[in-house]
Amino acid sequence: MTASSQDVLGRIDGEKESYLDELKDYLRIPSISTDPTHDDDVSRCADWLVGKMRAAGLDAERIETEGHPLVFGQWNGAPGKPTVLFYGHYDVQPPDPLDQWRNPPFEPTVEGDLLVARGATDDKGQSFAHLKGVAAVLAERGSLPVNVKFIVEGEEESGGEAIEAFVRADAGRRLACDAVVVSDSSMYAPGQPSLIYGLKGLAYMELRVHGPNRDLHSGTFGGAVANPANALAQILAQLQDKKTGKILIDGFYDKVRPLEDWERKEFAALPFDEAEYKAELGVEELWGEEGYSPVERAWARPTCDVNGLWSGYQGAGAKTIIPGSAGAKVSMRLVPDQEPQEIAELFRRHVERITPPGVRVEVISHHGGSPVVVDAQGPIVDAALAAAEDVWGKRPVRVREGGSIPIVATFAQVLEVPVLLLGFGLSDDRLHSPNEKFNISHFYNGIRTVARLLDRMGELT
Amino acid sequence: MTASSQDVLGRIDGEKESYLDELKDYLRIPSISTDPTHDDDVSRCADWLVGKMRAAGLDAERIETEGHPLVFGQWNGAPGKPTVLFYGHYDVQPPDPLDQWRNPPFEPTVEGDLLVARGATDDKGQSFAHLKGVAAVLAERGSLPVNVKFIVEGEEESGGEAIEAFVRADAGRRLACDAVVVSDSSMYAPGQPSLIYGLKGLAYMELRVHGPNRDLHSGTFGGAVANPANALAQILAQLQDKKTGKILIDGFYDKVRPLEDWERKEFAALPFDEAEYKAELGVEELWGEEGYSPVERAWARPTCDVNGLWSGYQGAGAKTIIPGSAGAKVSMRLVPDQEPQEIAELFRRHVERITPPGVRVEVISHHGGSPVVVDAQGPIVDAALAAAEDVWGKRPVRVREGGSIPIVATFAQVLEVPVLLLGFGLSDDRLHSPNEKFNISHFYNGIRTVARLLDRMGELT
């Protein structure tokens, strides 16, 4: 490791506790962007973050949008040096099912090396590591070796329309930079840093099947009228082949870029313990699209998952009704070069084509994001890989990821600079699940990696 | 009409208001037998009914069971005369969805000729008409022309195990009678009294599909593991052919008694306005098993309906998860000679056979009831038909019904007497639906019909 960061790394070691306490404060704010009843919390969270950026010495502000506010911060005191843009999001997923949490989701709890709370890893913990890494250098030296910018959004879990619009409208003026750093993902394995070069896109749909104008007695009317819940099951069953796992929507695979040989080789070479993976998930077997390994399916093949279902009577015991309606949330994860709007339209047409007689179906398109494969070459990327190796002691592996970070595709397309997907989380962080956690040691290493990244990039001529 | 009932009919006209007020008190008790949190209300409702029977001059008692209590009442002051057993139930369906009620479900509301409340027609209103008919005769004359017994259960909506066990154990001792009168059904049309000679049975099942041990991020894990909600849809879709409406469970139709020619003729001769029927339900077309009319499907062909569905995220907006589990309530309406236990077992085997890889399915059998076709011949039946004609001015038509009244099959089998299914409700009474109602004029005619029935049967030698 070059000597140049020892001062900062020493300070980071000295301030660990206060960094953790600040992160806990951040996690106590229930900034659930998908739930309108939490709008005030989301707004409060944005203000909290602006305060932290200013305290760190950044010029920070809250940018109002049609949705939740963006938080923008910058330090431009290194003329002639590269500029790094750090992206993150301060909103979180809903915490339900609440009864499965060991502790309240918004009361961060330390369990050994784990910090347990909604948003711990996705993305408050990882994004806050960016800020503390920059803050540590500024506090130690009063200046940075490069220019930095932060853009932190509050709608990543609910569509990200605001930042999408902002980046396109800004067209690289305020957001002008030489590289974007995104930490909203996992490392391939504990101790194994990873540079993610591919992300899936997303098309999130909702189906509402309408039958009779009320719940009906299933004895008096059963057999005479179509049942919306039966009809919904028929529709959902015709989205995916039950044997091959292929998605049956016409044209769905037309623009799917096949896995390249080098990718299949590199993925196959990565350590993957299927028995351990199944045990951790509590399933007896893995299942998915025929002809691909679990890693290939999760990272580089499109999927179609029912995320929610509801109809009729869900209580204890029995209620003999034909429900008046039934609904489902269905999301498709996309790979290059599928486009969310086009897939949403193919989905709509498919559903209209297979809707059974006697019911009416509403197809609602919630939001989407484009899949992306980024270029992971060049001196800036090398600096990032070196910085990660400095801290973690291992060269990052190149992997893809099944998650969707819609804005990454937009950054790559609009800013035309390298997008560095350096995740500090782990695959068992239970993001979107009860008892979400972030390893505290990874939080600190994330801070160190950012500090090293600034020095490594400052050395670039 | 023979003169003999004029005295009683006059009294009934005079006491209309008090009869209605008493019924309202009855309906205010939320005796929801499927929901354990209402056990105290169910118990309170049984006590209320015992009090009303005693006030009418019956020897009444509460019979404890393993479940909800039975209410038994009798008057045996007419030696040598026939004995009529009146059956009903004092429990009701759950009221949800609550937000669709115009008024609170347990605050009976009069809207013109309609009394709106949960249980108004199913079965408090109809059953209470039995009691008030008997009470009116006793009040007017101090005696009855026949002996009467009442057995009113509190578990009709939740399986009816208690009365089932009681009738079989009693084996016609306390319940010894010459005929059973059941009013828990509808008239074929307004002003058209009906004698129902066939009822469907029921097999009520619940499916619980288990996948991963928690909700998973649909990006990180999508494609790698089976999704329980997708799997549930596949299972439900394989219960019924989406084109022909035939139920696909192996052996399901083996014991189905075909419709007889005279039935198809009589059903076809009944007035049925399909356009009006569709308009009232708010559907554009009717749908069901290929090759049968809507009336035949609803009355005399077995069905399979999803009554409830649940999985994952049901809130506003989007949540990108693979749910850890998914569930459904599924009930099958049966026709002679299908047997619920056997059908439940066929269902279980079918589900086990079609369960997709990667998930585990629990099949729970909630309750069942046997289908029945009763004999509608003989002097007692003629007396009942005549009594109905006396009051409604029209000869009852012979029909079947899609609803399940499991105890009817047991009465027919154990007591070996005619079971008279004389319903006073209407098909638009919205039973099991929000805003359930009972026509107040039908309540009064029900009381009159019972009074006439007693006199008509008293005339039998």
Q: Which residues of B touch A214 (CB under 8 A)?
A: 100, 282, 430, 433-434
Minimal Cα distance from B246: which residue of A?
A223
Local structure of residue A425 (DSSP, 8 states): B
Q: Taking CB atoms and an 8 Å limit, are B229 and A316 in contact across chains?
A: no
The confidence band for A1, taking pLDDT boundaries of 50, 70 and 90, is very low
A11 neighbors A139 (Cβ within 8 angstroms): yes
* A86: contact with B, CB 8 A cutoff: no
HSE, side-chain direction, 13 A CA sphere, residue A165: 13
Helices of type H across A196-300: 228-237, 261-269, 274-281, 294-300
Spell out which residues of chain B touch residue A39, defining contact as CB-CB under 8 Å: none
Asked if B78 and B134 count as a contact pair (C-beta separation under 8 A), the reply is no
The pLDDT of residue A376? 73
- What lies within 8 Å, CB to CB, of A55 at 6+ separation is A135
Range A223-236 average pLDDT: 98
Least Cα distance to B223 among A334, A259, A372 occurs for A334
pLDDT at B292 over 90: yes
Q: Does A275 touch chain B (CB under 8 A)?
A: no
User: Which residue type, as a one-letter code, is found at position B388?
Assistant: A
Percent of chain A with pLDDT over 90: 89
> Would the CB atoms of A233 and B158 count as touching at under 8 Å?
no
Domain ranges across chain B: 3-199+371-458, 201-256+302-369
This prediction's pTM: 0.80
Counted across chains A and B, CB pairs separated by less than 8 A come out at 362
pLDDT at position B456: 96
Q: How far is CA B244 from CA A327, A360, B237, B239, B247, in A?
A: 24, 19, 13, 12, 9
Closest listed residue to residue A182, CA positions, set A431, A441, A418, A432: A418
Selected residues 410-429 of chain A with any CB under 8 Å from a CB in chain B: 427
Neighbours of A446 (CB within 10 A): 26
What is the pLDDT averaged over residues B235-264? 97
pLDDT at B90: 98
Looking at per-residue pLDDT, the higher value among B189 and B377 belongs to B189
How many Cβ atoms are within 10 Å of A64's Cβ, its own excluded?
11
Asked if A287 and B326 come within 8 Å (Cβ–Cβ), the reply is no
Burial class (CB in 10 A: 0-12, 13-18, 19+), A304: buried
Q: Flag if B227 and A305 touch (Cβ within 8 Å).
A: yes
DSSP result, A174-225: TT--SEEEE--SB-SBTTB-EEEEEEEEEEEEEEEEE-SSS-EETTTSBTTB
Determine the topology of domain A201-256+302-369 in CATH.
Alpha-Beta Plaits (3.30.70)
Encoded amino acid at A459, one letter: E
Q: How far apart are the first and last CA of chain B?
A: 19
Alpha-carbon distance of B448 to B390, in angstroms, equals: 9
User: Using CA atoms, how far apart are residues B407 and B370, in angstroms rounded to an integer?
Assistant: 8
In this prediction, residues A320-336 reach a mean pLDDT of 97
List the single residue in A with minimal CA-CA distance to B288. A223
Nearest to B447 by CA among B416, B422, B420: B422
Q: What topology is assigned to B3-199+371-458 in CATH?
A: Aminopeptidase (3.40.630)
> Is residue B1 very low, low, confident or very high in pLDDT (cuts 50, 70, 90)?
very low
Tell me if chain A has a CB within 8 Å of the CB of B244: no
Q: Say if B298 is an interface residue toward chain A (CB within 8 Å).
A: yes
Beta carbons of A320 and B100 less than 8 Å apart: no
Give tens-digit pLDDT for A358-399. 999 999 999 888 999 987 778 999 999 999 999 999 989 889
CB atoms B224 and A314 under 8 Å = no
B204: which chain A residues are within 8 Å (Cβ-Cβ)? 318, 320
Q: What is the pLDDT of residues B192-204, one digit of tens each?
A: 999 999 999 999 9
Q: Are residues B433 and A233, on separate chains, in Cβ contact within 8 Å?
A: no
Question: Number of H helices and number of E strands within chain A?
Answer: 12, 17
Give percent of chain B above pLDDT 90. Answer: 89
Question: How many Cα atoms occupy the beta-carbon half-sphere of B344 within 13 Å?
Answer: 19
B297: nearest CB among A157, A223, A309: A223
Contact between chains at B320 and A234 (C-beta distance less than 8 A): no
- Tell me whether 0.90 is exceeded by the ipTM: no
Beta bridge partners of A422: A195
> What are A159-188's pLDDT values in tens digits?
888 999 999 999 889 999 999 999 998 898
Instruction: Give the Å distances, CA to CA, from B190 to A366, B118, B298, B428.
Output: 47, 21, 19, 10
Q: What is the mean pLDDT of chain A?
A: 95
Tokens of A113: 């090396």
Q: Note whether A314 contacts B309, CB cutoff 8 Å.
A: yes
Q: Under a CB-based contact definition with an 8 Å cutoff, are residues A311 and A325 in contact?
A: yes
User: What does the pLDDT read at residue B3?
Assistant: 47
Q: Cβ contact (<8 Å) for B159 and A318?
A: yes
Reported for B255-263, long-range contacts at CB under 8 A and 24+ positions apart, including other chains, are B255/B337, B255/B338, B255/B339, B255/B342, B256/B301, B256/B302, B256/B335, B256/B336, B256/B337, B256/B338, B257/B335, B257/B336, B257/B337, B257/B373, B259/B292, B259/B296, B259/B300, B259/B301, B263/B300, B263/B400
Mean pLDDT calculated for residue range A123-136: 98
- Residue B412's CB is within 10 A of a number of other CB atoms, namely 18
Q: Do A319 and B307 touch (CB under 8 A)?
A: yes
Task: Report how far residue B288's alpha carbon sits from residue B303's, in angstroms, rounded to the nearest whole number.
Answer: 9
B227 interface with A at CB cutoff 8 Å: yes
DSSP codes joined into one string, A308-355? EEEEE--SSS---EE-SEEEEEEEEEE-TT--HHHHHHHHHHHHHHHP
- The secondary element (H helix, E strand) that includes residue B217 is strand B216-217
The distance of A283 to chain B (nearest Cα, Å) reads: 6
